[in-house]
Structure 1
Amino acid sequence: MAASSKVMKQKVAILGAAGYTGSELVRLLLRHPFVEIKHLSGTERTAGWSYGQVYPQFSFGSVITLDGERAATPVDALPPLCMTDDIDFSQVDTVFCCLPHATTQTIVSRILHRGTQHTPRVIDLSADFRLADVETYKHWYGTSHLAPELQTEAVYGLTEFERKAVRSARLVANPGCYPTGAQLALAPLVRAQLIALDDIIIDAKSGVTGAGRAAKEGNLFCEVTEGLHAYAVASHRHAPEIEQGLSRAAGMGNQGVIVNFTPHLIPMSRGILETIYIRCRPNVKVEDLRSCLEEAYREEAFVHVLKDPKQIPQTRHVRGSNHVVMNVFADRLSERAILVVVL
């Protein structure tokens, strides 16, 4: 849709803009014709810096996209980094929180409980509002939830499944990376009762930026390059998020489905590939799985089932884009199938 002078731009604040998630959000929103970035918050060290000082790729005019498209907003129009406490939230329409988990709850509560006539909506990209059950959050994140009243209000923002709720929500919990691919591939099949719920194995690989921008020994170049390793075996915090989504798809509420999920770190900067092993219900064939997924995403702009049944999705096919690409294959073992999804 072309930009129109009659359409009011959404005034946006991005908290934690100095991190990898924040920089990716800036890149996407600069291309958005109906968004104006009003505030970028950083750390005490980066407050007052231009955004180009933190990320030099934002220093060279308006062409900053991977595919060479010109941004809707010039890069030199970006505000300097500031501290979160310096932002006047009454002057923005939407706040994106790109802060580490366990730090967002207090800030979001303060924004939404300001008691003023204008309250912006909040889209939280941390894990703080993804899990509906506060006890589950406490178990997996090791700390009590500080805003349980908002936890019950938050809408889980996997848009393909919750578009109507997202549209009217005050608080949207942006899905995690691994759960996005897993749920998009599995939830339609679970909802259609095509696969067994007690036999789901998710073998996932992620690029290094998924671990954040803070310096960590395990993420140093010499520790990561030319190798591949599993981590958080049987204990990754995205497992309960995946299980929550699949349980909802199965009509079980927030719990009930349990998956076997193992993530791996692979030496690339960005991207996720998940190989998912499933068992079909009796008399269900791979063609039925494919038809179900094709129907689920027929009208979706960013989720695609490859037309060639033999083509295997690759992360390079979706790098720097909004797209999720998947395909489904028959296993050599009878009644089993393999899903491959990339984002």
Structure 2
Amino acid sequence: MGSTALGGGAPARVGLAPKVGSSSVRVRASVASSPQKQHSPNTSGVKSGEEVRIAVLGASGYTGAEIVRLLANHPQFRIKVMTADRKAGEQFGSVFPHLITQDLPNLVAVKDADFSNVDAVFCCLPHGTTQEIIKGLPQELKIVDLSADFRLRDIDEYAEWYGHSHRAPELQQEAVYGLTEVLRDEIRNARLVANPGCYPTSVQLPLVPLIKAKLIKVSNIIIDAKSGVSGAGRGAKEANLYTEIAEGIHAYGIKGHRHVPEIEQGLSEAAESKVTISFTPNLICMKRGMQSTMFVEMAPGVTANDLYQHLKSTYEGEEFVKLLNGSSIPHTRHVVGSNYCFMNVFEDRIPGRAIIISVIDNLVKGASGSESCAAPIVEEISTGSSDNSDFVGLLQGRDLLISHAQ
């Protein structure tokens, strides 16, 4: 049987974002995928003129810069505090020149940060450093942690995979995993949200609905995933130098990548039984973008078209998850700089099996764009509204442009 995809049509157009409603959102020269729907800031759940005050911890990293870009362009968010210990005292525009025109506070060390005038915190610090810092933050703050420090619910499993004991187990009990499309209602009532990892986002978005519907078997799931170099962070590492990675592809973490327990946690909850996967990550010589190729065995009587139709109906109301049509193959270049996840389902040449390809931008949908998981909890600061669909879209960058200058 030949390899065919389900569903004609082309991926979303990449171009300049239009004006929003009667007023234009303030943007700086860049490109992004154009969304299907446009929303005025006045249609969001936030009251007109009301300001949500934000602190960004670890703002000098790639993830921090993406969050700053999204929030600084939002009409009702105001960044009040930005920390970066190594860059303390510097202007943010000197660290990331593509954001030099934004009105932002200077960077300060975490120990010098003043949270008295802040409503919510986005923590973009390295893994293993956030538990004690978050534990010391004022209790009234809403928090989104973009490290891996609160993603694993089992603190013993965390210790096994991260090499040290959990330093804030009492906080782990209240942390909510922030995969927005799957757990939006739970996120709404959370004070602390654990932002998903990039690989887990690209894998769980297609597989969780299929497992819940019992359309695929949970045994023998094989995942081949590839990421741009920005996924390794901004820190200087010899293995990530251009001369080390250029003109090649590099497998790593073959038996022990730390995203494996996070993926298995989500898939196991969907299956209501233990799920074990085969997962191989690869580093590609490109700045950003991620592709996960998943090989699955279908349940008896299930076809690849059944998988496609179920995913299509599951995400029909979700702005940022799109099933491509026909034989269209998702490519990372179609989602770079956007908050979209593009996916498609293909028949495998092996009877009874299917291949699912999912692509995201590892820095946006795989990290800072998924800060939309904070939309429900941040929204409560301003309104207490239970309808956050428009608010989520604005926070995710629906009306924003992104710079490739970094």
| CA deviation string 1:69-110 (max 9, x = no partner) | xxxxxx1x1111011122222311110000011100001111
SS at match of 2:80: strand
2:292 pairs with one of 250, 269, 274? 274
For residues 119-147 of structure 1, the C-alpha deviation after alignment (integer angstroms, 9 at most, x for no partner) is: 11100000000000000000000000000
Mapped pair 1:288 → 2:306: yes
How do 1:119-198 and structure 2 match up within 5 A?
A: 119-198=140-219
Retained in 2: the 8 A contact 1:304–1:326? yes
Q: CA RMSD in A?
A: 1.1
| Residue 24 of structure 1: aligned partner | 66
Tell me the secondary structure at the aligned position of residue 312 of structure 1: coil
Q: Tell me, which stretches of 5 or more residues in structure 1 are unaligned?
A: 62-74, 114-118
User: Residue by residue, what CA displacement relative to the aligned partner does 1:6-58 show, whole Å, maximum 9, x if unpaired?
Assistant: 34121000000011110111111122222111111012x31111011111112
Q: 1:314 aligns with which of 312, 315, 331?
A: 331
Structure 2: distance between partners of 1:99 and 1:91? 21
Residue aligning to 2:40? 2
Distance (whole Å) between structure 2 residues aligned to residue 342 and residue 6 of structure 1: 35
Amino acid at match of 2:41: A
Question: Secondary structure at 2:127's aligned position in 1?
Answer: coil
CA distance in structure 2 between the aligned counterparts of 1:99 and 1:309, rounded to whole angstroms: 41
- Deviations, residues 170-217 of structure 1 (Å, cap 9, x unaligned): 000000000001000100000000111011001000000100111100
SS in 2 for 1:111: coil
Q: Partner letter of residue 52 of structure 1? A: G
Verify the 8 A CA contact 1:90 1:120 in the aligned structure 2.
Answer: no
Q: What's 2:17 paired with?
A: none
SS at match of 1:78: coil
CA distance in 2, matches of 1:300, 1:314: 20
Alpha-carbon distance between aligned partners in 2 of 1:134 and 1:49, rounded to the nearest angstrom = 37
Gaps of 5+ in 2: 1-38, 361-406
Q: Does 1:210 align with 2:231?
A: yes
Q: Which residue of 2 aligns with 1:328?
A: 345
TM-score norm. by structure 2 comes to: 0.77
CA distance in 1, matches of 2:206, 2:173: 26
Report what 1:233 is aligned to.
254
Aligned length: 318
TM-score by length of structure 1 reads 0.91
Query: Equivalent of 1:219, from 221, 240, 250?
Result: 240
**Aligned partners of 1:329, 1:211: CA distance in 2, in Å?**
30
Q: How big is the shift at 1:112?
A: 4.5
Contact 1:9 1:35 in 2 (8 A): yes
Amino acid of the residue matched to residue 286 of structure 1?
Answer: A
Does 2:99 align with 1:50? no
Moved over 3 A (4+): none
Query: 1:78 matched to which residue of 2?
Result: 104
AA in 2 matched with 1:300: E
Question: What SS is found at the alignment partner of 1:135?
Answer: helix
Separation in 2 of the partners of 1:293 and 1:328? 9
Instruction: Judge conservation of contact 1:309–1:328 (CA < 8 Å) in 2.
Output: no
Please say if residues 81 and 114 of structure 2, whose CA atoms lie closer than 8 Å, have aligned partners that are also in contact. no
2:330 and 2:357 in contact (8 A); partners too: yes
